[in-house]
Chain A
């Protein structure tokens, strides 16, 4: 039964991923649609970050916020994303000690 559930999950995840592969080149792209598609990564990143980041430590939303701010500060120094990830993990680890 568990494997069946996993297969079901795989199918409903896969289909929305691949449908655009078949339809996107059929859409005649007006300039505004192009702009819309170009904005999607940034809008998506925003929605993925907040308010989710506050739930890293369920009972202490500010821990996630501080971890996120540390990640942003590190990224502002033009360091690789890897350092943002490590810096944020260390921050949360220290704050929950």
Chain B
């Protein structure tokens, strides 16, 4: 195995942190409406403001929190909710493998800490800022990116729980598109630069559609399987060191 030579570009901690927060701004804005909508739903499901906010602090996973709030409202049992959360969030394992490979020269405490902040969105934005990892103090770039997203998620949930019914339902319905729009907005520039990336994405879209609609897999497993199979099919199409 060849030893990897990492060329570090000089960068201060402060400037890495600032760049990271800027890179996290789209997530900040995208999370805010979703988090507010979650806060409203959770408090309508009977969670207290404290519980609603603590779920965001401790779980930090949007789709799973919506699902859990719904299940709690329907009186689901502890084990049902925990198992459903595991299934829905298992995709982060696959994403974390890719993210930790990007950060493989970091120390274990840094890798451990950053892995805890991995969501669909922080992963996607970090993966699109792959070259940052070779700069000096780059861990602060990823840390700031994650903290920006984390802060928005918690503050939004708290605000939603507090505001409750004030927000008209048509507006909160419209905000359901926000995260999809973010995923699309993140993917499109890469596809514009490199059409093969678009092929990879479309293949895994179709796989996910087949797995969920025709084979009837649960959403969580379907996304995991589509991501794994889609990225394996993509191997011959990727260049050794694909530019992000």
Chain A residues near B (Cβ < 8 Å): 1-10, 12-14, 16-22, 24-25, 28-29, 31-32, 34-53, 56-57, 64, 67-68, 70-72, 74-76, 78, 80-85, 87-93, 96-97
Contacts and interface: CB of A to CB of B under 8 A. Distances in A.
Contacts of A57: 173, 176
B82 A9 contact: yes
A76 B192 contact: yes
A49 B205 contact: yes
Contact of A35 (B171, B180, B235): B235
Given A21-B111, A80-B26, A89 B94 contact: no
A15 to B, nearest CB: 9
Nearest to B105: A25
Contact of A84 (B185, B200, B208, B231): B185
A24 B204 CA distance: 24
B174 A92 contact: yes
A46 B90 contact: no
A42 to B, nearest CB: 5
B188 A75 contact: yes
A35 B18 CA distance: 30
B59 interface: yes
A80 B185 CA distance: 8
B183 A49 contact: yes
Contacts of A97: 170
A49 B184 contact: yes
Contacts of B72: 2, 5
B173 A50 contact: no
B120 A5 contact: no
A51 B173 contact: no
Contacts of A84: 181-182, 184-185, 188
Contact of B235 (A12, A20, A32, A52): A32
Interface string B52-71: 00110011110010001000
A59 B90 CA distance: 28
A54 to B, nearest CB: 9
A8 B61 CA distance: 13
Interface in B189-244: 189-190, 192, 197, 200-209, 212-213, 219, 222-223, 226-228, 230-232, 234-235, 237-242, 244
